[in-house]
Structure 1
Amino acid sequence: MKASLLLCALAGLPVLAQIPPSAPVGPGPAKAAEPFAFADFTWLNGNPRTKEAVLDSKYFTGEFRADVNAVYSFNHPQDHTLVGSCETGRTNEVQLQQLGLGGDFHWDNVRGRIMTQFGMYSTMTPRNDASPNRGQWEAGNAYRYLSEAYGGYHWDVMKGINLDAGIFMSYIGLFSYYNFDNWAYQPSYVSANTPWFFNGVRLQVFPTDKLKLELWLVNGWQSYNTFNNTPGIGASLNWRPTGSLNVISNNYFLGADTLGNQKRTRRHTDNSIQWKYYDQPESLLSKVAATLTFDLGDEQGGGVSRSGTAAEPKQYFAGWMLYNRFWFAHDRHAITIGGGAITNPGRYLVLVPPVNGATAASGTPYFTANPGDPFHAWDYSVTYDYMPSQYITFRGEFNRRGASVPYFAGENGVTPPGGNQGPLGSAVAGWAPDLRRTESRINLALLVKL
């Protein structure tokens, strides 16, 4: 089995992987036997645009990623803390959001991938997982420096079958966990509030070079451990009938993802269409593409229901996001305009504001997540990218976000005077966080992938 085929089959990214280093990326003939190698899909949102690996060999393809940002919030929080984002955490500073080293091993049909995560991701990602509070061994600490880590095997059946076990990307919500791959820095809520990773087992089947089917048996919804005694079960479909169209459906069929409540079960469907509807490489406007994503989900049992009653309040998730991207001057410049909205009664997918150090496990009385608690939110963004090389992006972005309840950090911030006090997330006598309904900010970022 060629290393290039293993790389092409690798699906540790939100949408299936980049063009293999040995596959044609120009007008030359493609190898139809290799999944998704029949066209150049580097235009896709959530897909890296790199076409050649800098470090590649018969046994290993290396990867380096760096994501450094500086954020200016027009709310001017005095503690420099952002709320409601897993892509940025601090304002008015330069922060290393993510630095990753790793790559893909491939030999004799055996495959493996490792990607480390250092910087803000190594603390912000684990704090959004409440599952380590069940039992011992501090799983949040054990895994915090790994974004992907798995091993597996490839069978030369149909166009390929892969079985992998470990931590892998979930690609629910279209956007990639790695901002270099995305059209925008701050994704809309449909992506930001759905899982970035799974810990478990996946089976990938490629019936043709245009279709990938995938099954998941995982510990839970973006969780290192199981929340109760029920694993998460899901599946994915990724279909690319032409080089200009991508249809994705990700489905989480069953999970019990509320800590300590094994009677409450969760379902979720996430669906996206990506369409490149203009492609003139030699023109000033070289390419235009759009994406539409819509999600539906609910929780039932254990005190909640989809439709809502007096005894079992309403608990569901509905959302959409729409983006349009314009490339200019041989794809060296791009402008993306987009946004979306969600409603999530019960707030079970809303990121807990880090008030007084609150985490997903601790919660906070200052922003409750009781059954039926209302939450509606919307956002829009305008993004400019300068891409002088396939390996680097200079990004500037304006974001405007709003919520139906006070949620975003205001001028007085979300940190008590003198720092966090008492148990994480607990109430502090004589103090309250400054939470606002709206937030505007400018994100500046330097993104590298080698």
Structure 2
Amino acid sequence: MKPVTSCIPGRAALTLATLLLAPMVQAQAPAGPAKPVTLTDRPAPLAFADFSWVPGNGGASEKPLSFGAFTGEFRADTVYHHSFNHPRDDTIAGSSEVFRHGEVQVTQLGIGGDFLYKNVMGRLMTQFGLYSQTTPRNDASPTRGQWNLDDAYRFISEAYGGYHFDALRGINLQAGIFMSYIGLWSYYNADNWTYQPSYVSSNTPWFFNGVRAQIFVSDTLKIEPWLVNGWQSYGRFNDGYGVGGQILWRPTGWLSVVGNQYYGTDTLGNPGRRRVHTDDSVMVKYHDRPDGFVSKAAASVTLDAGCEFGGGVDCGSQYFLGFMAYHRLWFAHDRLALTVGGGAITNPGRYLVLLPPINGTTAASGTPYFTANPGDRYQAYDFQVAADVMPQPFITFRLEFNHRAASVPYFSGPGGVTPPGGNQGAPGSLVDGWSPDLVTRESRLTGALMVKL
């Protein structure tokens, strides 16, 4: 997920490099070395070192689309996925990033950027392509009330405005749709170490709709509280709001520690049910020799835990536990990279498990073919190997292998998840004489071409 907003004061129009000094991303920091562009000639907070190695923060320090107060950004994510299950309807289930088999597809085309002028800031990023269909599909909140919130926000991944206060090392107050930090990996695949995140990232929020304050306490510490409509939702699921926050600590250029916490009521039509979640990551760069055969080496570990209670469930039977761990090597002056890793989850009640798109199933419709009732068991694991070629920091060619497995039939098998002739009846409903072909394992290859300017 890779939005950025400036954390420095703006007396006049500033350049794109300035805007990138304090990335407001999923536990990310600015790409490239710090530049002395603050009014006091001090580097911006969290910009005292090159943190481009941090997961979810790929890209170049050079920003060619900079025009005065505007820092432009262009993203193109084109991909081919091959599932060895060969689903006949070409539908891949169980991922918030991977959707079609055997086809070249555009996951996202993003155009936008950042504005900063006299301490006033804003950001816009579009999401044309498959994300414009799949991301709203996973939000049940638009079914509560009128005005078609999923259509209103369908083509927007980020849209917010804000103001910078010259206090402490900087305070930003922002409102709108902004990227979530929960899960570590970015919503934008070009910024990540792998294309397919493990479950603790893929099944947790990619965005929030609400208000946040970014409080830079020092050059190494940020505290960021949130007040949001809900857990990756355009609207509210009930009458309450979601609250949470992040603490990001970077004491040196080789260590990043981040903790994200959340509390809300996020079960549609069940206001008595509460959700708590913690997501915590440690990232270490243990090797940095730009002229060596291995130019960099880094590792990350993420642990997630949470549960739901009240409204007919308790934390003993409805909980989430998971982890993911990755190791990445860069070669040839960072033009090549190799990443290995994976993770596992257990989620009784399946309240964070993505519903397979069986007969048009959505997060709101549910489906009797894959229930998400209190206590329904679900365990899963995965691992990935990704090889990147980056002739320029603005482009990544990626070849990736993924293997995923679950304790219950979950992934698209050869028969697919679409009834003959297409979807029938209400989304997710039973179809006489037909059932989806769900299997417990899936292996696939991914080839991606991703541009980020």
Distance 1:434 1:32 in 2: 59
Structure 1 CA distance for aligned equivalents of residues 86 and 36 of structure 2: 49
- State the Cα distance separating 1:363 from its structure 2 match: 0.5
Does the aligned pair in 1 maintain the 2:246–2:258 contact within 8 Å?
Answer: yes
Alignment correspondent of 1:267: 276
Partners of 1:203 and 1:215 within 8 A in 2: yes
**Residue in 1 aligned with 2:199?**
189
Partner residue in 2 for 1:7: 19
Check the 8 A contact 2:78/2:448 in 1, yes or no. Answer: yes
Once residues 352 and 103 of structure 1 are traced to their aligned partners in structure 2, the CA distance between those partners, rounded to angstroms, is 33
Q: Percent identity?
A: 61
Q: Tell me what 2:372 maps to.
A: 369
Q: Distance in 2 between matches of 1:364 and 1:153?
A: 44
Gaps of 5+ in 2: 1-8
CA contact (8 A) 2:33 2:48 kept: no
SS in 1 for 2:436: coil
User: Which 5+ residue runs of structure 1 have no aligned equivalent?
Assistant: 308-313
* Counterpart contact for 2:359–2:423, Cα < 8 Å: yes
Distance apart, 1:12 and its partner CA: 3.5
1:74 aligns to what?
84
CA drift at 1:48: 2.5
Amino acid at match of 1:83: A
Matched ranges for 1:10-159 at <5 A: 10-19=22-31, 23=35, 32-159=42-169
1:431 equivalent among 423, 430, 434 = 434
Deviation at 1:171, TM superposition (A): 1.3
Aligned residue runs from structure 1 range 202-221, under 5 A: 202-221=212-231
Residue 7 of structure 1 deviates from its aligned partner by: 1.8
Give the drift of 1:58.
2.7
The answer to whether the aligner puts 1:397 opposite 2:406 as a matched pair is no
Whether the 8 Å CA contact 2:31–2:57 is kept in 1: the answer is no
Structure 1 segment 292-371 matched on structure 2, within 5 A: 292-307=301-316, 314-371=317-374
Partner of 1:244: 254
TM-score, structure 1 as length reference? 0.95
The answer to whether the 8 Å contact 1:21/1:52 transfers is no
Alignment of 1:412 onto 2:415: yes
Among 381, 386, 411, the alignment partner of 1:383 is 386
Q: Give the one of 160, 163, 166 matched to 2:176.
A: 166
| TM-fit CA distance, 1:16 | 3.3
Letter of the 1:7 counterpart: L
1:289 to 274, 283, 298: 298
3-state SS of the aligned residue for 1:180? helix
Rounded Cα–Cα distance in structure 2 between residues aligned with 1:388 and 1:172: 31
- Per-residue displacement from partner, 1:250-309 (whole Å, max 9, x unpaired)? 000x210000000000000000000001111111111110000000000000000001xx
8 A Cα contact 1:250 1:269, kept in partner: yes
SS of the aligned residue for 1:389 comes to coil
Using the alignment, how far apart are the partners of 2:34 and 2:322 within structure 1?
39
Distance 1:242 1:42, change over 3 A: same
Find the residue that maps to 2:98 and give its secondary structure.
coil
Q: What is the count of residue pairs matched by the alignment?
A: 439
Specify the code of the residue in structure 1 equivalent to 2:267.
Answer: T
Paired with 2:324 and 2:432, the residues of 1 have a C-alpha distance of 40
State the partner residue of 1:310: none
Instruction: Name the residue aligned to 2:4.
Output: none
